[in-house]
Amino acid sequence: MSKSKQDILRLLKNDEYISGQSMADQLGISRTSVWKSIKALKAEGYQITSVPNKGHRLIAPPGYINQTALEVLVEHSEVFGHIEYLQTVDSTQNIAFKMLDTYDGAFIVVSEEQTKGRGRFNRNWASPKQRGLYISLVLRPNVPLTDIIRFNLFISLAISKSIDETFNLSSGIKWPNDIYINNKKVCGFLTEVVSEGNAVNAVVCGIGINIFNDAALSSLPRATSIEAEMAEGEGLDTDIFMKHLFRNLEHYYGLFLKHPFTAIRDEWKAKSIIFDKYLKISETGDSFMARALDIDEGGFLEVVDENGRLRRVISADIEL
Ligand code: BTN
Q: Give the pLDDT score at 233.
A: 66
Peptide bond preceding 221: is omega within 30 degrees of 0, i.e. cis?
Answer: no
The whole-chain average pLDDT of the chain stands at 92
> What's 274-319's CATH class?
mainly beta
CB count in 10 Å sphere of residue 74: 18
Q: Residue 49 in 3-state DSSP?
A: strand
Provide the ipTM.
0.99
- Pairing mode, strands 199-210 and 310-313: unpaired
CA of residue 76 to ligand 1 center, whole Å: 26
**Average pLDDT for 259-265:** 96
Q: Is 265 annotated as a binding residue?
A: no
Give the closest residue (by CA) to ligand 1 atom 16: 206
CA of residue 5 to ligand 1 center, whole Å: 32
Whether the predicted pLDDT of 185 surpasses 70: yes
Q: Residue 17 in 3-state DSSP?
A: coil
CB count in 10 Å sphere of residue 30: 11
User: Per DSSP, which regions of 72-213 are E strands?
Assistant: 80-86, 106-111, 132-139, 172-174, 178-181, 184-196, 199-210
Counting Cα atoms < 13 Å in the Cβ hemisphere of 186 gives 26
274 CB burial (10 A radius; 0-12, 13-18, 19+): buried
Ligand 1 touching residue 37 (CB < 6 A): no
CA of residue 277 to ligand 1 center, whole Å: 26
Atom of ligand 1 nearest to the CA of 118: 14
CA of residue 257 to ligand 1 center, whole Å: 23
CA of residue 233 to ligand 1 center, whole Å: 29
CA 295 – CA 215 distance, rounded (Å): 36
CA of residue 116 to ligand 1 center, whole Å: 10
Q: Give the pLDDT score at 192.
A: 98
Atom of ligand 1 nearest to the CA of 127: 9
Give the closest residue (by CA) to ligand 1 atom 11: 206
96 CB burial (10 A radius; 0-12, 13-18, 19+): buried
- Pairing mode, strands 301-305 and 310-313: antiparallel
Ligand 1 touching residue 208 (CB < 6 A): yes
CA 219 – CA 228 distance, rounded (Å): 14
CA 186 – CA 171 distance, rounded (Å): 9
Q: Is 120 annotated as a binding residue?
A: yes
Same fold, 3-60 and 274-319: no
pLDDT tens digits, one per residue of 199-235: 999 999 999 999 998 777 777 779 999 999 998 767 7
Q: Is 114 annotated as a binding residue?
A: yes
Q: Give the pLDDT score at 45.
A: 74
Ligand 1 touching residue 86 (CB < 6 A): no
pLDDT tens digits, one per residue of 104-154: 999 999 999 999 999 999 999 999 999 999 999 999 999 999 999 999 999
Residues 167 and 155 sit within 8 Å (Cβ to Cβ): no
Q: CA torsion 82→247→226→152, rounded to 10°? A: 80
Name the CATH architecture for the domain at 67-269: 2-Layer Sandwich (3.30)
> What's the distance, CA 116 to chain centroid?
15
CA 91 – CA 113 distance, rounded (Å): 9
Q: What residue spans define the domains of the chain? A: 3-60, 67-269, 274-319
- Pairing mode, strands 286-295 and 278-283: antiparallel
Give the closest residue (by CA) to ligand 1 atom 9: 208
Q: Does domain 3-60 correspond to CATH entry 1.10.10.10?
A: yes
Ligand 1 touching residue 309 (CB < 6 A): no
Higher pLDDT, 42 or 137: 137
**Average pLDDT for 187-191:** 97
Q: Give the pLDDT score at 186.
A: 97
